A = this chain, B = another copy of it.
Amino acid sequence: MPDFPTAQDAEDAFYDAIEERDPERLRAVWEDSPDIACLLPMQPLLIGERVHDALAPVMSGEIPLDIQVRHLRWVNAGDVAIHYVEERVHLPGRPPQPPVYATNVFRRSATGWHLILHQNAPTPPPPGAMAGGMGPPGGMA
């Protein structure tokens, strides 16, 4: 199993593992602890081992994925790092998907940096598009 000397190394391995649909590599990116969590829109909050279970279908797909990641902001907080990114997932032969925001939180331990939270958020609709019914202020807090 690789150790990740920086949070960015772990993040690069995370997206590489998904692109390559490599479940072992993906698992190695997550911290080996019950603390890990994954939160995807309209999906139940996933904690601990359920994170791996829920990602299994994604990893078993056969269509290659191309994920473009744009870094928006990094916050370094000692042994925790928070990365705000924008993801664009490209599937061959499919129309482009709208981008999503992702928040990736990494924690440093004796074995290096690992992912403890992956959370996605829908981005604003393009100008002129319907905004949908979920936006704040009603949904704010």
Give A residues with C-beta under 8 Å from B: 15, 18, 35, 37, 39-45, 47, 55, 57-58, 61, 65, 67, 72-73, 75, 77-80, 82, 84, 87, 89, 91, 97, 100-103, 105, 107, 116-125, 131-132, 134-141
A84 contacts which of B45, B97, B103, B137 (Cβ < 8 Å)? B45
Contact partners of A58 in chain B: CB under 8 A: 136-137, 140-141
Contact partners of A87 in chain B: CB under 8 A: 141
> Min CB distance, A75 to chain B, in Å?
5
Q: How many of these chains are in the complex? A: 2
- On whether the beta carbons of B103 and A103 are closer than 8 Å, the reply is yes
Contact partners of A89 in chain B: CB under 8 A: 138-141
